[in-house]
Amino acid sequence: MKADAQSSAEKEALELAIEWLRLLREHLTPEGSKAIPYRADILISAYDKRHEYPERFRDLIVGTLVKAHRDADDADIFNLCSLAAELIERGEPLPGYLRDFIVKFLRRDPIFKPSSKRGRKRGDLASRDVFIDAVIAHIVKTWRFAATRNEATGRPSAASIVREGLEKGADIRLTEKAINKIWHSYRKRSRTTQSS
């Protein structure tokens, strides 16, 4: 009986992952993820259209974009400040996650220091990674799967479900290990930000 409930939950979670990752396909490739920097119009459009997405995705659409930018680069800061400016001009209140971001930015929080590292910047794949993180978090919260797999039990995890969802929904092949790394990276960044 418990195995049937588990397989039913796994099937539902996989269907959700496939559906959402199919919707986000263009932002999950390295090219699509890199195309977003300095495109505040995309973020503003996603915010304006958030109610057009299936209800279960609404909280994730813009909030997850903001979550990716706790360790913001110049493009992230530009886009989020542009979104905040647009909402202020319209006379709309800022959502809590955006308000918190803007307050930290205006107070010159140390998380906004530019990176001096060479090579690919974390922001190059930020869109892809934040969406992967968001789907994992949603599956963990909704169906109570472990975020990553316990190799001893071999049971599916949210990361293993997302791996399959990426392949079936967006034709993107990442290893489960790479997906686990994305998850752990965002958890670590989240803990660091919350403790400051």
Q: How high is the pLDDT of residue 18?
A: 94
Predicted pLDDT at 191: 52
Residue 1 confidence (pLDDT)? 41
What's the pLDDT at 192? Answer: 42
Query: How many whole angstroms separate alpha carbon 27 and alpha carbon 10?
Result: 25
Cα-based distances in Å from 92 to 57, 84, 87, 89: 21, 9, 5, 8
Tell me what pLDDT residue 163 has: 97
Give me the domain span that covers residue 128.
Answer: 2-195
- DSSP state string for 12-53: HHHHHHHHHHHHTHHHHSHHHHHH-TT-HHHHHHHHHTGGGS
Q: Are 29 and 128 in contact (CB under 8 A)?
A: yes
Q: Are 20 and 135 in contact (CB under 8 A)?
A: yes
* Number of domains forming the structure of the chain: 1
Mean pLDDT per 10-residue section of the chain, whose length is 196 residues: 68 93 83 65 73 61 54 68 89 85 77 57 72 90 90 82 96 94 76 44
pTM of the model: 0.61
